[in-house]
Amino acid sequence: MKYKVYCETDEKWEEFDCLMPREECPVDSNHTIREGSLSGAGASDEDYKVLRNKIIDRVVDEGFSNLTTQEKEIASENFCVSKADRDSVHTIDEQVAFGIEYHKKSTIARSKRRKVIEAEVYNRMQSSTERYDLMNGASAMIDAYVNFGVEGSLEGDDVGLFDYLESRVGTPFENTGLLSKGYNVEGMTINEFSERLMDVLKNGNY
């Protein structure tokens, strides 16, 4: 979801490239906006988790207590703030309802990311044996990532896909993860390939 506001100074609608709008013109905060014109601008093709991270950055920069009421609600709806802060703007029943939406949108974003890494694997690895070895070895972790957001030990999970892709020290994949495999990858080294897959899955860069 993007937001837009009618700017009287620009004499046109201005869009916010974020889930969290300010009640002012995004081009220049000194502009005059039409009162009550702030509204949603439909579904966005952008990766939900990327958009959500922008809210988190905003909350960290501004502090929850300095946000407008609408911004507090948006931060709470998208689970970007603590339980105590969520309790200050939404009832538990509302939080359950938002939780369902949050899980749904996050799963869609992670599914998109999986499709991107599948395209990377199927196009950059010419050996079907190696492709099978990689995708079969990681399939349960890929499912756990997509369906439940399990990432890896550094991200607060016991163990997960990110540990495997980076052959992280101190995890079961230290010597058996992607970096330890002698796969042939077209156009990049195995380390660059690992970084590429991580950039897609972790940062939503695709």
| Distance of closest approach, residue 6 Cβ to Zn ion, in angstroms | 9
| Distance of closest approach, residue 4 Cβ to Zn ion, in angstroms | 11
| Distance of closest approach, residue 26 Cβ to Zn ion, in angstroms | 7
Q: Which is nearer to Zn ion, 12 or 104 (CB)?
A: 12
| Distance of closest approach, residue 22 Cβ to Zn ion, in angstroms | 12
Q: Are 184 and 125 in contact (CB under 8 A)?
A: yes
Q: Which is nearer to Zn ion, 27 or 169 (CB)?
A: 27
In whole angstroms, give the CA distance from residue 4 to residue 7: 9
In whole angstroms, give the CA distance from residue 76 to residue 86: 5
For the window 150-169, what string marks contact with Zn ion as x by the rule CB under 5 A?
Answer: --------------------
Q: Which is nearer to Zn ion, 27 or 60 (CB)?
A: 27
**51-58 LR contacts (CB < 8 Å, sep 24+):** 51/18, 51/19, 52/19, 52/78, 52/80, 52/106, 54/18, 54/19, 54/20, 55/18, 55/19, 55/20, 55/80, 56/80, 58/18, 58/20
Size of the site for Zn ion (CB under 5 A): 6
In whole angstroms, give the CA distance from residue 92 to residue 114: 32
| Distance of closest approach, residue 71 Cβ to Zn ion, in angstroms | 19
What is the C-alpha R_g of the chain?
Answer: 21
Q: Which is nearer to Zn ion, 31 or 103 (CB)?
A: 31
In whole angstroms, give the CA distance from residue 7 to residue 35: 10
Q: Which stretch binds Zn ion (CB under 5 A): 5-13, 142-150, 153-161, 179-187?
A: 5-13
| Distance of closest approach, residue 205 Cβ to Zn ion, in angstroms | 30
The span from the first CA to the last CA of the chain, in angstroms, equals 19
Binding residues among 6-45 for Zn ion as defined by CB under 5 A: 7, 9-10, 25, 27, 31
What are the residues binding Zn ion (CB under 5 A)?
7, 9-10, 25, 27, 31
